[in-house]
Structure 1
Amino acid sequence: MKKILLIILSVCLSFSLLLSGCGYAPEDNTMPTGNNVLTLVGQEPYTLDPAKVSDSGSVTYIYQIFSGLLKMGDDLTPVADIAQSWEVSPDGLTYTFYLKPNVKFHNGRVLTAADFKYSWERAASPATASNTVLTFLGDIQGVTEMVQGQANSISGVTVVDDLTLKVKLVSPCSFFLSKISYVTAFVVDKDNVSQGSDWWKKPVGTGPFMLPELTQGNYIMLNSNPDYYDTPAKISSVIFRLQSGQPMDLYEVGGIDVAGVSADYLAKATDPDGVFSADLQVVPQLSFYYFAYVTSKAPFDDPKIRQAFSMAVDKARIIELSYKGSVSVAEGILPPGMPGYNPDLSGLEYNPERARELIAESSYGSVENLPTITLTASGWGGLLPVELEAVIDQWRQNLGVEVVVRQIDMERFLYDLQTEKDNLYYSGWVADYPHPQDFLSVLFETTSSYNSGDYSNPEVDALLVQAAATLDTEESMQLYAQAEQILINDAACLSFWFGKNYVLVKPYVKGYKLNAMGIPILTEVTLEAH
């Protein structure tokens, strides 16, 4: 979900519909009603700026309000969006996009190819300070130079005419089209952005839904865009309720039409004889949850310490007790359903005795010589998810290590982790696009801005660079598989679990679906009389 970056440190199993809290809404807090209004649970957005967003909750809104050249299709391949077609040169370096005519921003202005050049150069500007631009647009000639302040424009982007955009890459990238289906590459309106730093609270996009304004309140309402260049949404509005408490409770009393299911309610929701069995949708999610070892800090600069901590945790038992079979244990990094997923990957086995031996063999020699180990976590008040407490308890029992937990608020965790982290943290990642690069390179390549664990391995870097430049899919996947196995053997992280979305949908809601990245697709939703 920066991606989409998804940090779930509660017992939630599904995407941002489970997150709650008070926040923004139209000033009139009388909840609108109507037969053509879909009501969900949402969260207060940290930002609606496509160039700066890093959390899945905010990204959910951005996908409804903004759009780009391409979007991800149902089969997880990029398909036409604002671009109606495109051509790729034989050497894989030049992409030419042909835009649909008469695409309009929400303010009625007709979009041109120059708007994409502006949007991408704004994302690459040092003044914007985007954490995602190099990840998603860094393959384009001149983006790195602009990010580093060495250029005032992106040399690899040329406006041929109002409906034609030419893009030149530094080197071939077989998944470049998937990258630009993510929100960092979405188009923004220059006049809208020029209104000041809070421009995103009155966003002017090109997407299927419009947001008039964000103000303090208890819900967010998006209205269907009647001038949408594709088929307009069938519902008139979508309301995201910002509230505390359980979405399931609201769902039971008819306060919302769709609800994510938390672990506490999972048994009730999945009971085949229960009242919710007909409403339940189980959607695979390309997500990965893990403990990140900060390898630039002691003691996790020593791979034997990392291996020891990984082998001291009985993941299968903890996940079964915590989630009752609703999620799967992660031996590797790539989740099921992801191209390149290896069900036979060999992970580090649970072996407390060997774990203690590894500590003795390490440069630290014994547990007594280890520095204080502090785990950075999102949250407040000392409340921790049960699976996190269980892992900490096993480190205590199997290694004799007492791990200290330091909690910080969610926004700091999402946006300031690079400076806030201690020597260990618990995190989650949801695919921005379905490709191994979005997990392996983005999280573990030395130069990646999302490598908050500071992991650095020249052998892994070389494999990832080679895989990204290899146009033959089978050969590329083999290279990614080699890199993933090295990451696991070297204990770059403690792989923990792969997620799923459990969602309840009222019988009168038709056409609602989540994609594998956990984003709701709302344009096909219809509401029957109820």
Structure 2
Amino acid sequence: TAQDFKWSIERSANPDTGSYNADVYLGDIIGVKEVIDSNGGIQEVEGVKAIDDKTLEITIDSPKTYFLAKLTYPTAFVLSQKYLESMGDDWIDSPVGTGPFVLQEYQIGQILKLKRNDLYWGEKSKVDGVIMNLAGGVSMAMYENDEIDITGVGLADLERVKDPNDPLSKDLVDVPPQFTLSYIGFNVNMAPFDDENFRKALSHAVDKELIADKIYSGLTKPAYAVIPPGFPGYSPSIKGLDFNPELAKDYLSKSKYADPANRPRIIVTIPGTGGSPGMDTEVISDMWRETLGVEVEIQQVEWATYLQDMNRKRLQVWAGSGWQADYPDPQDFIDILFYSESDVNHGNYKNEKVDDLILEARTELDQNRRFLLYNQAEQIVVDEAPIFPLWFDTDGYALVKPWVKGYSFTPIIVPKYKDMYIE
């Protein structure tokens, strides 16, 4: 009911829930910030009212054309108040679903099974369920042994499966680019990244075109901006910091950290558990050393620790992650990542002009002008280099068994299983 939606939003905002993203995605609703900041003293969100069982009224702080799209993020997902309160912490083991599938089984690190939700309000799923293998293994071998029906294709196997003489080639399908940005983040409150010239020096010292060609075989696109190509608000006129070794050296000479003796230890944190760092991270660190004489250490930490330290803005430099669009609006990149008060501004970047442009864009109703405001903010961000953009996604490849019909790959996160069927 509408009361469940109201309760779910209030639960997300309650500090006891521990959501890192409640303010980011729900903070436009009047009263959400007050609940978040109350340390449990305020339970109800003023701007959310259940008018009757089927009518929910949400009041936001100002007109924002992208607000409804933000409600597609999990912080606004509806939960059953009665069920959660009766189950306590055990609700997560058997959650109530409202979509075309419900959870059948979940073993951490092993398997996740979904089954068709016969109570779904819309057209029912054509398949009985979906099984996701979480235990790892060699996915190509599993595909060839008919253990799984869908798998991505990595660089090591791409040439083989693209060969028309290989029996797998008939299963090969194109995967459209995801709206993602991979980048290296700099904490501008920590030396030496509090120096814009130092950040620019690092940015100009890396030949991303070479890495994309030699390491990724052209399956990734060097990024010199923030908003991905094809995404609403993308502008080809954004001028990035391209590879220029001489300019890199010039910026380093202008930096207060030009002398290695004045330069603190630099630690690049990446997620991992003891394996080799990503090839691009190693090559980039080599280019920094060879071009500028800047030495960095690569530190691996477990994923949970990585996320916690990043969310708490403790990392000096971080790599191995990025940003993927949650909904089709440039606000999801420029505002969320670079507004000075955003919880997801992990590098503590602050520029008053950027903040002013973002605030103006939030309430601008003319779409073209709103996108222009984001582009102006984007150009300033790119110029000041609080992050080092690495890659945009490009067309990829996957293998799909011939008996799987109706499955489509989408450029924004959530796969759609409802319309698949087996023939």
TM-score norm. by structure 1 comes to 0.76
1:479 aligns to 2:370 (yes or no): no
Which of 510-519 and 299-308 deviates more? 510-519
Write the letter of the residue equivalent to 1:135.
V
Q: Which secondary structure does the structure 2 equivalent of 1:184 belong to?
A: helix
Contact 1:211 1:223 in 2 (8 A): yes
Contact 1:367 1:399 in 2 (8 A): no
Say which of 244, 252, 266 aligns to 1:373: 266
Map of 1:286 onto structure 2: 179
Identity over the aligned pairs, expressed in percent? Answer: 40
Which of 255-264 and 407-416 deviates more? 407-416
1:160 aligns to 2:51 (yes or no): yes
| Alpha-carbon spacing, 1:288–1:269, altered in 2? closer, same or farther (3 Å) | farther
Say which of 136, 153, 176 aligns to 1:244: 136
Structure 1 residue 503, shift from structure 2 partner: 2.0
| Alpha-carbon spacing, 1:348–1:271, altered in 2? closer, same or farther (3 Å) | farther
Write the letter of the residue equivalent to 1:502.
Y
Say which of 395, 403, 408 aligns to 1:513: 408
Contact 1:286 1:338 in 2 (8 A): yes
Map of 2:149 onto structure 1: 257
Say which of 444, 448, 452 aligns to 2:342: 448
Question: Which consecutive segments of 4 or more residues in structure 1 shift more than 6 A?
Answer: none
Counterparts of 1:274 and 1:518 in 2: how far apart (Å)?
Answer: 30
Q: Which secondary structure does the structure 2 equivalent of 1:363 belong to?
A: coil
Structure 1 residue 434, shift from structure 2 partner: 1.2
Structure 1 residue 140, shift from structure 2 partner: 0.7
Q: Spell out, residue by residue over 1:471-510, the C-alpha distance to the aligned partner (whole angstroms, 9 max, x if none).
A: 1100000000001111111112111101245321111111
| Alpha-carbon spacing, 1:420–1:151, altered in 2? closer, same or farther (3 Å) | closer
Q: Spell out, residue by residue over 1:208-246, the C-alpha distance to the aligned partner (whole angstroms, 9 max, x if none).
A: 111144346732211100110011100001111122232
Write the letter of the residue equivalent to 2:344.
Y
Contact 1:260 1:504 in 2 (8 A): yes
1:411 aligns to 2:300 (yes or no): no
Map of 1:37 onto structure 2: none
Write the letter of the residue equivalent to 1:233.
S
Map of 2:113 onto structure 1: 221
Map of 2:330 onto structure 1: 436
Structure 1 residue 407, shift from structure 2 partner: 0.5
Q: CA RMSD in A?
A: 1.7
Structure 1 residue 414, shift from structure 2 partner: 2.9
Structure 1 residue 412, shift from structure 2 partner: 2.0
Structure 1 residue 428, shift from structure 2 partner: 1.4
| Alpha-carbon spacing, 1:449–1:232, altered in 2? closer, same or farther (3 Å) | same
Q: Which secondary structure does the structure 2 equivalent of 1:429 belong to?
A: strand
Count of aligned positions:
417
Structure 1 residue 382, shift from structure 2 partner: 4.6
Q: Spell out, residue by residue over 1:299-352, the C-alpha distance to the aligned partner (whole angstroms, 9 max, x if none).
A: 000111110010011111111111111121111011112101112321112111
Counterparts of 2:28 and 2:160 in 1: how far apart (Å)?
Answer: 47
Structure 1 residue 518, shift from structure 2 partner: 3.0
1:138 aligns to 2:30 (yes or no): no
Contact 1:189 1:204 in 2 (8 A): yes
Of Structure 1 and Structure 2, the greater helix share is in 2
Structure 1 residue 391, shift from structure 2 partner: 0.5
Map of 1:350 onto structure 2: 243
Counterparts of 2:53 and 2:367 in 1: how far apart (Å)?
Answer: 34
Write the letter of the residue equivalent to 1:121.
E
Structure 1 residue 261, shift from structure 2 partner: 2.0
Contact 1:142 1:151 in 2 (8 A): no
1:386 aligns to 2:275 (yes or no): no
Contact 1:189 1:205 in 2 (8 A): no
TM-score norm. by structure 2 comes to 0.94
Structure 1 residue 417, shift from structure 2 partner: 1.9
Contact 2:105 2:113 in 1 (8 A): no
Structure 1 residue 375, shift from structure 2 partner: 0.2
Contact 1:281 1:505 in 2 (8 A): no
Q: Which secondary structure does the structure 1 equivalent of 2:365 belong to?
A: coil
| Alpha-carbon spacing, 1:482–1:228, altered in 2? closer, same or farther (3 Å) | same
Write the letter of the residue equivalent to 2:200.
Q
1:464 aligns to 2:353 (yes or no): no
* Structure 2, unpaired ranges of 5+: none
Map of 2:42 onto structure 1: 151
Map of 1:197 onto structure 2: 89
Map of 1:97 onto structure 2: none
| Alpha-carbon spacing, 1:414–1:274, altered in 2? closer, same or farther (3 Å) | farther
Structure 1 residue 133, shift from structure 2 partner: 1.2
Map of 2:17 onto structure 1: 128
Counterparts of 1:144 and 1:476 in 2: how far apart (Å)?
Answer: 25
Map of 1:39 onto structure 2: none
Counterparts of 1:317 and 1:217 in 2: how far apart (Å)?
Answer: 36
Q: Spell out, residue by residue over 1:68-103, the C-alpha distance to the aligned partner (whole angstroms, 9 max, x if none).
A: xxxxxxxxxxxxxxxxxxxxxxxxxxxxxxxxxxxx
| Alpha-carbon spacing, 1:315–1:191, altered in 2? closer, same or farther (3 Å) | same
Write the letter of the residue equivalent to 1:173.
K
Q: Spell out, residue by residue over 1:401-424, the C-alpha distance to the aligned partner (whole angstroms, 9 max, x if none).
A: 111011011222234423474311
1:308 aligns to 2:224 (yes or no): no
Map of 1:338 onto structure 2: 231
Q: Which secondary structure does the structure 1 equivalent of 2:399 belong to?
A: strand
Write the letter of the residue equivalent to 1:130.
S
1:527 aligns to 2:418 (yes or no): no
Write the letter of the residue equivalent to 2:21.
T
| Alpha-carbon spacing, 1:488–1:270, altered in 2? closer, same or farther (3 Å) | farther
Map of 2:390 onto structure 1: 496
| Alpha-carbon spacing, 1:132–1:345, altered in 2? closer, same or farther (3 Å) | same
